[in-house]
Amino acid sequence: MANPSRILISGASGLIGTSLIRAFDARRISVTRLIRDRQPQGPQEISWSPQSSSLVADAAQLDAFDAVIHLSGANLAAHRWTPAYKREIVESRVQTTQALAKLLAALDHPPPVFLCASATGIYGDRGDEILTESSAPGTGFLAETCMQWEDAAQPARAAGIRVVLMRFGVALTPAGGGGALSKLLPLFRLGLGGRLSSGEQWLSWISISDVVSAVFHLMQDARLAGPVNMVSPIPVTNAEFTRVLGKVLHRPAIFPAPAFALRAVVGEMAEEALLSSTRVIPARLAESGFHFEHARLDAALESLLAKPA
């Protein structure tokens, strides 16, 4: 595909969505947002209701886009993982993906590519094992959720649409970006940062600028379909992440958070999102010739934290 000129995106208000919108605007690419819970503010917004029998008022509005990017999903860290919120986490991903995939499959002029979010959580807690797109899924709530999430895109694939399943690691954005880094910075700047538990668990990360570049790459490279790990080629342990962040900020990072304390504060999410180990590498991006601006964590953090909040 040449440079796309018309893109449809869901989840545009999230961390990754807002960064993509800025990049599309800078390149003068027309973007239409799928929105929920409010009325459209103009022709560049389309209201949709994934739980309704009619997803949108007029399906023809979704015809002839060059690419559709689907990023919707409840924030994993927004609430404690009660049974009710776990259902919301699953449904906000699986139901929306399946509904949108079915609608795209039925269009007269479906998009040539459907980029759907997923996560490295699909691999589960795997210790020091090096994980690529060919690795088997793991076990646990996040792994099972991601498997259902990816399966939900099948109607689009069956209709001949190129479906790319973007398995995001931890996306690092500057202060104020709303991601994991912006939540850690206040503590680290006070010299109160530290590793989580032993710090031996692996963290698969990616800078937000590489996320944006990789999305453009995925839209344009027709060879890429199925799962693609959206992570830096050099994962780090939590202890190494802590050390590098402290060094970049010129602050000590010596206050570890014990596992029992994390479990007491955030419950099940601590086990799966903070203490689990996923050592993921971007094999398919590397094979396709994608160039990372920030392959190393120290360069990524120095670049990100040099930008205004």
| CATH number where 102 lies | 3.40.50.720
**pLDDT at 78 (0 to 100):** 80
DSSP 233-244: SS-EEHHHHHHH
Q: Is residue 1 part of a domain?
A: no
Q: Is residue 258 part of a domain?
A: yes
pLDDT one-digit tens code per residue, 132-174: 999 999 999 999 999 999 999 999 999 999 999 999 999 998 7
| Number of domains the chain contains | 1
Q: Is residue 159 part of a domain?
A: yes
Q: Is residue 146 part of a domain?
A: yes
Scan for tokens 């590519």, then name that residue: 113
Q: Is residue 164 part of a domain?
A: yes
**pLDDT at 262 (0 to 100):** 65
Closest by CA position to 205, among listed 69, 71, 285, 300: 300
Query: What is the model's pTM?
Result: 0.93
H or E element that contains 187: helix 180-189
CA 200/CA 214 separation, integer angstroms: 28
**pLDDT at 277 (0 to 100):** 95
Q: Is residue 95 part of a domain?
A: yes
What is the extent of the structural domain holding 59? 6-305
Quick one: tokens of 226? Answer: 């199925």
pLDDT one-digit tens code per residue, 204-238: 999 999 999 999 999 999 999 999 999 999 999 99
pLDDT band of residue 309 (cuts 50, 70, 90) is very low
Residue 147 neighbours by CB under 8 Å, 6+ apart? 122, 137
Scan for tokens 């691999």, then name that residue: 123
